Amino acid sequence: MSTTTYTLALNLICGAFLLVAVLMLLRRDLAAIVRLLTIQGVLLAALAALLGAREGSLELYAVALGVLLLKAVVLPIVLRRTLRDSSEARETKPLVNVTASMLAATLLTLLAYALSRPLVALAPSPATEAVPIGLAVVFLGFFALVSRRRALSQVVGFLLMDNGISATAFLVAGGVPVIVELGVSLDLLLIVLVLQILAARLQVTFGHTDLDELRELRD
Amino acid sequence: MNTVLIVPTDSTPMEVLLLITTVGAPLAAAAAALFFGWCRAVAWASVAASAAILTCAVIVAVRTTDGASLVAGGVLRADALTAVMLLVIGAVSIIATWAGVSYIDEELASGHTDAKGARLYAVLVQLFLAAMVLAVLASNLGVLWAAIEATTIVTAFLVGHRRTPAALEATWKYVMICSVGIALAYLGTILVYYAGREAGIDSHGSLEWTQLVAHAGELDPGVMRLAFALLVLGFGTKAGLVPLHSWLPDAHSQAPAPVSALMSGVLLSVAVYALLRYHVIAVAALNPTFVRALLLTVALASLVLAASLLLAQRDYKRLLAYSSIEHMGLVVVGVAVGTPLAVAALLLHILGHGIGKAVLFCGSGQILAATGTTQISGVRGLLMRRPVLGATFALGLAALLGLPPFSLFASELGLARAGVQAGLGWVIAFTMVILLVVFVAITVRTAPMLFGSNSDPVDSPPPRTAVATAPLVTALVALALLGVFAWPLGQLLHTAAEIAGTR
C-alpha cells in the first residue's frame, strides 16, 4: 500500500469515527444511537486492520477481528436487549439541548487538539497526527455520559469513551500488548453485562431508568 | 533507588509457587463456594484463604526485606512494597472474612438474604481478594490496571447485595463512576506505553514497571505530564479522591459491612499503591514540582471535602466512609511529599487505617443488625447496652482519630515529620487543622451513640456475641501492638520506602 493511500484511508476512517461520535450526541432515539455505536465499532476494527496492513502485523489483524466481534456484534446485541426490556425508546429529557451539545462538541474537539500537541510532537506521523480525534471522542463520550439521564444513554457514553481510548491506543502505539488488550476487552464486556443487569433491575424497581430521579442517597 | 535496579535472578520454583499460591488461595476458596454454596466449611475456608494470603505475605516480606525481588513467569513480581500491600490485604481480609461468617449467618437467619445470595457473596468476596492480590503482584502496569478494573466488576453485586432501591442506586453510581475513572487511568497507561516505546523500550517490556523506572529519565515530559494527570484522576477515583469521589459514601454505606471493610481498608489503598508506583516514574520523568502540586491539590481538596461533610453527618456508615476519604487524602499528602520517610509513614498508615476501618465497619454492621438503623440519632448508649460491641467501636474510633497507642498515631506523626523535613510546613499545618476539625466532628457526632441515655426499650439480646466480636478484638490488639512495637515491620517499611521514595 502506498503512503498516500494509507494516509487517505487513515484520515477517512478517523474523520468518520469523529462524525459518528458527534451524531450520537445529536440523536435522541436510543435505537439509532446503538446503530451508530455499531458503525463506530466497525470503523475501529477497520482502523486496526489498516495499521496491521501498514505494519504487516498479523497480531493487529487478529486484534481487528476481536474488536469487530466485541464492539460491532456482541456489545450492540447486549445494548439492544437492554433497550427491548426497557419502556424507554428515547432520551426524553437530556440535561443539555441540541444547540448547546453542538457547541460543547466543538469546544471539546478544540480542547482535544490543544491537549494532544505534545503527543503528536513526540513522533510525528500520519497516525499520531490523528490522535486528537481519539481524544475528542473520549471527551464527547464523557460529555454524553454526564448530560444524559437514561441508564442506557450513560452506558453508550461510557462505550463512546472506551472507543476513543482504543482509537488513541491504536494511533499512538499500534495497540497495547496482547495480554493487556485481552484483559481490557474482557473487563469491558463484563462491565457492560453488569450494567445491563443493573439497568434491568432499575427498570423493575423504579419503573424507569431516569437516574436523576434517584435521590435516596444524599448528605 | 539503587535497590530497584537489582536485576532479579532466574525465579526458583519456590518463588513461583509462593506467588501463585497467594493469588490461587482466594481463587480456590471462590471455587469451593461456587460448588458447595454457603456452609460451615466454605465459611471457614474463606477465612483460611485470607490466612493463606497473610502467611504468603509474611514469607514474601521475609524474603524481600533485604531489597530482593521475587518473580514468577514474567507476570508476577514481588518486592518489599508489594510485601507491605500483601500484609495489608491479608490482615484486613482475615478480619473481614472472619466477621463475615457471623454476618451472613445472621442475614440468613433474619431472612435478609437467601442461600443463592449467600453463595454469590462468598464467591465474589474471594474473587475480590484475588483481584486485589493480583493488582499488587502484577509486574506489568497494564495487568495492574486490568486487575483494579476487575475489582469494580466483582464488587458491583456485593454493593448491591441487599437488593434495596438505595443499594441499587449506590451500585449504579459505583459501577458507572469507577468505570469512567478507571477508563481515564487506562488512557494514561496507554500514554505511558507510548512514551516508553518512543524512549526505546521494546514493546513487550514497555509496561513493565522495572523497565519504565530504569528508563524514566528518557520518557517524554510532554506526554508524561498528560499521562500522569490522567492516572491521578483515574486511580484517584478508585481511591475515593476528589473530584470523582461521590460513589464512595453511597457504596460504603450500602454494601454489607465486611465488604465495606474490604473496600475501605484495602481497595482504596490498592489504588493508592498504583499511584505510588507511577509516582516513582513521574518524578524522574517530569518536573517534580508539577507532580507534587498535582497530588497536593487532589489530596488537600479531598481532606477539605471530607471534613466539611463529616461536620453535619447523620449516618454512621457514611461517617466512616467520609473518614476513609479523609485518610486517603492524608496518605496522598504522603505520596506528594514522597521522601522515604513519608513513604514508610504512609505505608504504616495504610496498614493501620485498613485494620481500624475493618473493625469499625464490621462493628457498624453489628450495630445495624441490633438497632435496624444507620442513623446516628437511632443509636444511643451503646456502651451500656452492648458493652463489648460499644467498647470495640469506641476503641476503633480512637484508633482512627490517631490516638496512641494505636499505630495511626505513629504514622501521622511520621507523615508530619516527613512533610516538615521536605519543606512543606504550610501543607502539614493546613492538614493538621483539617485533622483537628475531623477529630472534633467525629467525636461530637459519635459520643451520643456511645454514651447517651439508656431510656429506649432494650432490644433483643445479641446472638453469639463471642463469634461476632472475636475478630474485632483481635484486630484492635494487633493495631495497638503495631503502634507500640513497630519493629517487626521497621526494616520492611524501610526497604519499601527506598523502592518507592524519591528525594
Answer for the pair B74, B10: CB distance below 8 angstroms, yes or no: no
Cβ within 8 Å, pair A122-B225: no
Judged against a pLDDT cut of 90, whether residue B82 lies above it is answered with yes
Cβ within 8 Å, pair A198-B203: no
Neighbours of B42 (CB within 10 A): 22
- The number of distinct structural domains making up chain A is 1
pLDDT digits (tens, 9 = 90+) for A52-77: 999 888 889 999 999 999 999 999 99
H or E segment and range at residue B282: helix B268-285
Tell me whether residue A214 is in a domain: no
Cβ within 8 Å, pair A198-B156: yes
Query: What's residue B73's pLDDT?
Result: 80
pLDDT digits (tens, 9 = 90+) for B470-490: 899 999 999 999 888 876 788
Between helix B268-285 and helix B141-159 the angle, nearest 10°, is 160
Answer for the pair B362, B471: CB distance below 8 angstroms, yes or no: yes
Cβ within 8 Å, pair A173-B157: no
Whole-angstrom Cα distance, residue B285 to residue B279? Answer: 10
Judged against a pLDDT cut of 90, whether residue B503 lies above it is answered with no
Cβ within 8 Å, pair B194-A122: yes
What is the four-CA torsion angle of B474, B479, B485, B490, rounded to 10 degrees? 120
Distance of CA A88 to the CA centre of its chain: 22
Whole-angstrom Cα distance, residue B139 to residue B497? Answer: 18
Whose CA is closest to A28, among A95, A73, A74, A107?
A95
pLDDT digits (tens, 9 = 90+) for B84-131: 999 999 999 999 999 999 899 988 998 888 999 999 999 999 999 999
Judged against a pLDDT cut of 60, whether residue B3 lies above it is answered with no
Most confidently modeled range among A128-137, B1-10, B192-201: A128-137
Quick one: closest CA in B to A212, which residue?
B169
Minimal Cβ distance to B142: which of A180, A191, A202: A180
Query: What's residue B7's pLDDT?
Result: 45
Q: What is the DSSP string of A33-45?
A: HHHHHHHHHHHHH
Query: What's residue A208's pLDDT?
Result: 83
Cβ within 8 Å, pair B190-A158: no
* B171 contacts in chain A (CB < 8 Å): 198
Answer for the pair A218, B182: CB distance below 8 angstroms, yes or no: no
> On the CB side of B312, how many CA atoms lie within 13 Å of its CA?
5
Domain ranges of chain B: 12-456+463-500
CA distance to partner chain A, nearest, from residue B238 (Å): 15
Q: Region B197-212: what's the mean pLDDT?
A: 85
Neighbours of B288 (CB within 10 A): 14
Q: Region B131-144: what's the mean pLDDT?
A: 94
> On the CB side of B309, how many CA atoms lie within 13 Å of its CA?
23
Tell me whether residue A218 is in a domain: no
pLDDT digits (tens, 9 = 90+) for B226-258: 999 999 999 999 999 989 999 999 999 999 999
Tell me whether residue A29 is in a domain: yes
Distance of CA A81 to the CA centre of its chain: 19
Quick one: closest CA in B to A204, which residue?
B165
Residue B76 bridge partners (DSSP): B72, B138
Minimal Cβ distance to B250: which of A119, A187, A217: A217
pLDDT digits (tens, 9 = 90+) for B402-426: 998 899 999 999 999 999 999 999 9
- Determine the structural domain holding residue A115 and report its residue range: 3-86+93-209
Q: Region A125-146: what's the mean pLDDT?
A: 94
Whole-angstrom Cα distance, residue B412 to residue B491? Answer: 19
Cβ within 8 Å, pair B253-A176: no
Answer for the pair B191, A172: CB distance below 8 angstroms, yes or no: yes
* A211 contacts in chain B (CB < 8 Å): 172
The A residues from 143 to 202 touching B (CB cutoff 8 Å) are 145, 151, 154, 158, 161-162, 165, 168-169, 172-173, 176-177, 179-180, 183-184, 187, 190-191, 194-195, 198, 201-202
Whole-angstrom Cα distance, residue B8 to residue B35? Answer: 39
Which pairs with CB-CB distance under 8 Å and at least 24 residues apart come from A14-19? A14/A47, A14/A130, A14/A133, A14/A134, A14/A167, A14/A171, A15/A133, A16/A43, A17/A43, A17/A44, A17/A47, A17/A133, A17/A137, A17/A163, A17/A167, A18/A109, A18/A133, A18/A136, A18/A137
Minimal Cβ distance to B153: which of A165, A191, A206: A191
Minimal Cβ distance to A161: which of B180, B191, B250: B180
CA distance to partner chain B, nearest, from residue A87 (Å): 19
Query: What's residue B1's pLDDT?
Result: 36
Whole-angstrom Cα distance, residue B379 to residue A48? Answer: 59
Cβ within 8 Å, pair B220-A118: yes
Judged against a pLDDT cut of 80, whether residue A135 lies above it is answered with yes
Cβ within 8 Å, pair A211-B172: yes
Cα-flanking dihedrals φ and ψ of residue B77, to 5°? -150, 135
Whose CA is closest to B157, among B123, B111, B132?
B123
pLDDT digits (tens, 9 = 90+) for B362-374: 999 999 988 888 8
Confidence of residue A16 (pLDDT cuts 50, 70, 90): very high
Neighbours of A72 (CB within 10 A): 18
Q: What is the DSSP string of B140-192?
A: BHHHHHHHHHHHHHHHHHHHTTT--HHHHHHHHHHHHHHHHHHHHHHHHHHHH
- Give which of A63, A208, A217 to mutate to test B binding, by max B Cβ within 10 Å: A217
* pTM exceeds 0.90 for this model: yes
DSSP for residue B373: -
Tell me whether residue A49 is in a domain: yes
Judged against a pLDDT cut of 70, whether residue A107 lies above it is answered with yes
Whether cis (ω within 30° of 0) applies to the bond prior to A118 is no
